[in-house]
């Protein structure tokens, strides 16, 4: 059975540990200690060295009966605001928060806590063999899961324990995501003595930005411009400016059409100023669409029903570890944990929701 008090204690202890992306090492040490105390072996891949984190992804295997199954949770959070080296966690009855002083980090310490609880139960329950993965740099574009070698997973299906949806709601669909880096090069000149000889890269990139697609583009696609930088001395016509944006779409062909449009806008508007545009695309992760009648979705629905919960499925414009994992041929949906107001100082979660999610998961692993 789920030990709700133990699960709550684990969650709070994890939330107190700051673990912004690239600095997941302290949480990894906590996870390693908990797992090794169970007599299980912890493997670590080379994601830390490859991606610039202070730990790699951690992988734990258990034995069992039936087909293997995987669980994943990510160890990193968006940057918290520690107080005396700890995230200021407040527990008020069923509710865990920070009093508005920091992000809580329930995204995804809730998933890590639930995964650890399943490992504790694995020796006692008739579970399927488990591959449990604790990833790094999910918040930077699911980089840890992207780096993870597929052959480290025996399982072909599983759950990503990272849902900011209500308990009983799984995310089954997520878009393809790419990032783009645009550099506009003009010509420097003295702003007072010979401005006519210059080509203002900031003015040119401003014209480009004003024409780029942003916001909700259609029923399947969204785009954003996140950063513009350029210039230097105020008395110099700036020669160089840079822009970073992103694009997401649930359909690959639609994504590619918008990529072509962004490229055309960038070159045309920059050229109108006499400047040059250089555009570089960075694929972040593939999209996925798991049908509601897929085996992994049906398993989720049956487990919810066994706990008296009506299962539901949603699509999202967000993304995470489920994107690269589905792309590697590991069918998965994102398991709802009841997170609220993630990535903000108002973030909170109910301990009863974490416990209920854990009970549903236990049911699924026993089916």
Whether residue 134 is found in the same domain as residue 17: yes
CB-based contact 215:222 (threshold 8 Å): yes
Whether residue 50 is found in the same domain as residue 140: yes
Quote the pLDDT of residue 1.
86
Convert the pLDDT of each residue in 236-261 to its tens digit. 999 999 999 999 999 999 999 999 99
For residues 32-52, average pLDDT: 97
Whether residue 131 is found in the same domain as residue 236: no
Quote the pLDDT of residue 124.
76
Whether residue 274 is found in the same domain as residue 292: no
Whether residue 142 is found in the same domain as residue 196: no
Classify strands 312-315 and 169-174 as parallel, antiparallel or unpaired.
parallel
Its pTM stands at 0.91
CA distance 274 to 204: 8
- CATH code at 75? 3.40.630.10
- CATH code at 216? 3.30.70.360
Q: How many domains does the chain have?
A: 2
End-to-end CA distance of the chain: 15
Mean pLDDT of the chain: 96
Convert the pLDDT of each residue in 154-213 to its tens digit. 999 999 999 999 999 999 999 999 999 999 999 999 999 999 999 999 999 999 999 999
CA neighbor of 31 nearest in space, from 60, 69, 70, 62: 60
Whether residue 104 is found in the same domain as residue 94: yes
Whether residue 76 is found in the same domain as residue 30: yes
Whether residue 168 is found in the same domain as residue 194: no
Angle CA 324–36–339, to nearest 5: 45
Q: Domain range holding 353? A: 4-174+287-366
Angle CA 302–14–44, to nearest 5: 80
Is 90 exceeded by the pLDDT of residue 356? yes
CA distance 344 to 77: 11
Quote the pLDDT of residue 126.
78
pLDDT above 70 covers a percentage of the chain that reads 100
SS3 284: strand
Reported as half-sphere exposure (CB side, CA atoms, 13 A), residue 231 has a value of 15
Whether residue 306 is found in the same domain as residue 318: yes
Whether residue 27 is found in the same domain as residue 63: yes
Whether residue 100 is found in the same domain as residue 163: yes
For residues 270-276, average pLDDT: 97
Convert the pLDDT of each residue in 4-22 to its tens digit. 999 999 999 999 999 999 9
CB-based contact 136:75 (threshold 8 Å): yes
CA distance 163 to 77: 14
Asked which of 255, 285, 315 is the last residue of a domain, the reply is 285
Whether residue 15 is found in the same domain as residue 89: yes
């Amino acid at each position: 059975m789920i030990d709700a008090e133990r699960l709550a204690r684990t969650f709070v202890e994890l939330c107190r540990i700051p673990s912004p992306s690239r600095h997941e090492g302290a949480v990894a040490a906590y996870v390693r200690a908990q797992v090794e105390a169970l007599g299980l072996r912890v493997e670590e891949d080379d994601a830390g060295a490859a991606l610039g984190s202070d730990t790699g992804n951690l992988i734990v295997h258990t034995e069992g009966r039936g087909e293997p199954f995987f669980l994943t949770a990510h160890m990193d959070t968006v940057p918290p605001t520690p107080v005396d080296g700890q995230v200021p966690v407040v527990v008020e009855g069923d509710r865990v928060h920070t009093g508005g002083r920091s992000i809580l980090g329930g995204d995804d310490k809730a998933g890590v806590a639930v995964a650890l609880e399943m490992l504790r139960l694995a020796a006692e329950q008739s579970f399927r063999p488990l591959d449990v993965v604790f990833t790094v740099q999910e918040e930077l574009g699911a980089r840890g899961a992207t780096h993870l070698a597929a052959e480290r997973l025996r399982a072909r299906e599983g759950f990503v324990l990272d849902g900011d949806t209500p308990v009983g709601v799984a995310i089954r669909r997520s878009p393809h995501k790419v990032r783009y880096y645009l550099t506009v090069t003009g010509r420097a000149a003295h702003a007072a003595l010979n401005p006519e000889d210059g080509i203002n890269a900031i003015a040119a990139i401003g014209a480009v930005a004003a024409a780029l697609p942003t916001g909700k583009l259609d029923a399947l696609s969204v785009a954003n411009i996140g950063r513009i930088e350029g210039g230097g001395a105020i008395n110099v016509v700036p020669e160089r400016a840079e822009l970073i944006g992103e694009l997401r779409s649930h359909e690959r062909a639609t994504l590619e059409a918008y990529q072509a449009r962004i490229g055309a806008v960038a070159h045309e508007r920059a050229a109108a100023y006499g400047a040059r545009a250089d555009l570089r695309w960075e694929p972040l992760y593939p999209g996925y669409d798991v049908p509601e009648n897929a085996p992994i979705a049906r398993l989720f629905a049956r487990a919810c029903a066994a706990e008296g919960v009506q299962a539901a499925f949603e699509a999202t414009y967000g993304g995470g570890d489920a994107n690269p994992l589905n792309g590697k041929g590991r069918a998965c949906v994102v398991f709802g944990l009841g997170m609220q107001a993630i990535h903000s100082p108002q973030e909170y979660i109910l301990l009863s929701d974490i416990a209920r999610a854990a009970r549903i998961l236990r049911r699924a692993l026993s089916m």
